[in-house]
């Protein structure tokens, strides 16, 4: 029996993880659930899965959750510090990190320090502080198993292989809803268009990141840290059908691909059951239904975020942390209607140039860099609003 903590259980990944867990009560048990704001769904999940502990991030919602669960054995806590602490509980075997953005960093760091294996859905943890998180994982002999579909694909292709025989990886990318659009068209993109992803149902933040290709940029950085690659070994390929989830090319030129229907429950289940594969009833891919699989290069001249991610990777230090912080602020501003779609990467590029560069950051440096970049990004957004 694996006892699982799900950080971000009310989000898209969290809910799908619970769907998987529900099918295998003899294998998985839910030990901890956390949510930031969605108290009603958290309560519902707690009643259904009876975890040992639930944490609601937003302390203003504590009383509602506690009242609703007062007749159950589940303990209720509130606040970001509580989330960062519960991951250390002795009874937890695996922590699924599925919260949004930078908020995933500290709880993940604590879980690793406590020796917990990580099923990593929160890619920002590796984007912000990949070197530090990797070192901690090695020191504490912790496995980081990717949940992101592309990284799960690479991970699966690498089973039985040596990392030093990898020539490169192809990270596939759906291209998002705006693939092929020019600069003028992108400037007029509306929030509701950007929130419609062609292949994957996801939360708002990652859906916008997919549309701007920031998500793909973060995935390049994530791949670097998960698999020990250089930026030259990671190539993004636009593959709108999302059937090949990524590929690995070895030093003899042979290529392995991992394929399947685009269904996040598959990489989630694999991360939870690894090293085993367990039988399920998910729909199978029928090759006869596929008309064609297509591939093309992403346009990084237009979709600047992908180029910025490569730049952050190449220069290293705290630059990816800065990019992530700026991007979180810019995406919020776009979702609130304060800046245009293309302003997102205009802000990111400026803030990367403006923030203090640190070549070998500590955890405190990362926290400070995140703060500084957010402050600069907010200032720039106020300026852009004024200009409009």
Q: How far is the CB of 353 from Mn ion (least distance, A)?
A: 27
> Among residues 57 and 176, whose Cβ is nearest to Mn ion?
176
Closest CA to 305 of 348, 256, 356: 348
Q: What is the DSSP string of 146-157?
A: E-SHHHHHHHHH
> Among residues 52 and 242, whose Cβ is nearest to Mn ion?
242
Q: How far is the CB of 23 from Mn ion (least distance, A)?
A: 23
Stretch that binds Mn ion, among 11-19, 104-112, 148-156, 302-310 (CB under 5 A): 148-156
> Among residues 29 and 149, whose Cβ is nearest to Mn ion?
149
Residue nearest to Mn ion (CB): 148
Figure out which of the listed residues 148, 209, 370, 372 binds Mn ion, where binding follows CB under 5 A.
148
CA dihedral 116, 248, 289, 199 (to 10 degrees): 50
Q: How far is the CB of 36 from Mn ion (least distance, A)?
A: 21
Which residue spans within the chain are E strands per DSSP?
Answer: 2-7, 28-35, 53-56, 75-78, 94-97, 117-120, 144-146, 166-173, 234-238, 244-250, 255-259
Stretch that binds Mn ion, among 48-56, 147-155, 302-310, 314-322 (CB under 5 A): 147-155
Q: What is the DSSP string of 242-283?
A: --EEEEEEETTS-EEEEE--S-THHHHHHHHHTT------PP
> Among residues 150 and 332, whose Cβ is nearest to Mn ion?
150
User: Between the CA of residue 260 and those of 18, 76, 212, 256, 347, what are the distances in Å?
Assistant: 21, 39, 24, 13, 36
Integer-rounded Cα radius of gyration of the chain: 20
Q: How far is the CB of 388 from Mn ion (least distance, A)?
A: 32
Binding mask 87-126 toward Mn ion (x if CB under 5 A, else -) reads ----------------------------------------
Map residue 14 onto helix, strand or coil.
helix
Q: How far is the CB of 246 from Mn ion (least distance, A)?
A: 9
Q: How far is the CB of 300 from Mn ion (least distance, A)?
A: 18
How large is the greatest C-alpha to C-alpha distance in the chain, in angstroms? 62
> Among residues 121 and 377, whose Cβ is nearest to Mn ion?
121
> Among residues 33 and 220, whose Cβ is nearest to Mn ion?
220
Q: Which residues bind Mn ion (CB under 5 A)?
A: 148-150
């Amino acid at each position: 029996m694996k006892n699982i903590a799900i950080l971000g259980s009310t989000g898209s990944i969290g809910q799908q993880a619970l769907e998987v867990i529900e099918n295998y009560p003899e294998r998985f048990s839910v030990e901890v659930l956390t949510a930031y704001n969605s108290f009603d769904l958290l309560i519902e999940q707690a009643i259904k899965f009876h975890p040992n502990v639930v944490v609601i991030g937003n302390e203003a919602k504590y009383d509602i959750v506690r009242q609703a669960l007062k007749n159950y054995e589940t303990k209720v806590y509130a606040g970001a510090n509580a989330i960062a602490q519960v991951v250390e509980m002795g009874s937890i075997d695996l922590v699924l990190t599925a919260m949004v953005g930078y908020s995933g960093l500290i709880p993940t760091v604590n879980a690793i320090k406590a020796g917990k294996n990580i099923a990593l859905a929160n890619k920002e943890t590796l984007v912000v502080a990949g070197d530090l998180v990797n070192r901690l994982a090695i020191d504490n002999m912790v496995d980081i198993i990717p949940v992101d579909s592309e990284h799960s694909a690479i991970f699966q292709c690498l089973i039985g292989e040596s990392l030093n025989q990898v020539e490169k990886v192809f990270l596939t990318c759906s291209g998002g809803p705006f693939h092929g659009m020019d600069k003028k068209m992108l400037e007029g993109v509306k929030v509701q268009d950007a929130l419609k992803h062609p292949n994957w149902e996801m939360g708002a933040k990652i859906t916008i990141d997919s549309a701007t290709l920031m998500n793909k940029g973060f995935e390049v950085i994530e791949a670097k840290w998960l698999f020990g690659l250089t930026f030259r070994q990671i190539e993004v390929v636009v593959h709108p059908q999302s059937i090949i989830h990524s590929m690995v090319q070895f030093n003899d030129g042979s290529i392995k691909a991992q394929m399947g229907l685009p269904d996040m429950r598959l990489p989630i289940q694999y991360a939870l059951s690894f090293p085993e594969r367990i039988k399920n009833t998910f729909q199978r891919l029928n090759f006869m239904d596929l008309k064609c699989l297509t591939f093309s290069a992403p346009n990084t001249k237009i979709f600047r975020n992908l180029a910025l991610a490569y730049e952050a990777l190449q220069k290293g230090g705290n630059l990816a942390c800065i990019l992530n912080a700026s991007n979180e602020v810019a995406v919020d501003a776009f979702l609130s209607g304060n800046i245009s779609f293309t302003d997102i990467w205009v802000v990111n590029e400026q803030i990367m140039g403006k923030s203090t560069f640190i070549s070998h950051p500590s955890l405190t440096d990362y926290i400070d860099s995140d703060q500084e970049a957010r402050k600069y990004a907010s200032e720039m957004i106020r300026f852009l609003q004024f200009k409009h």
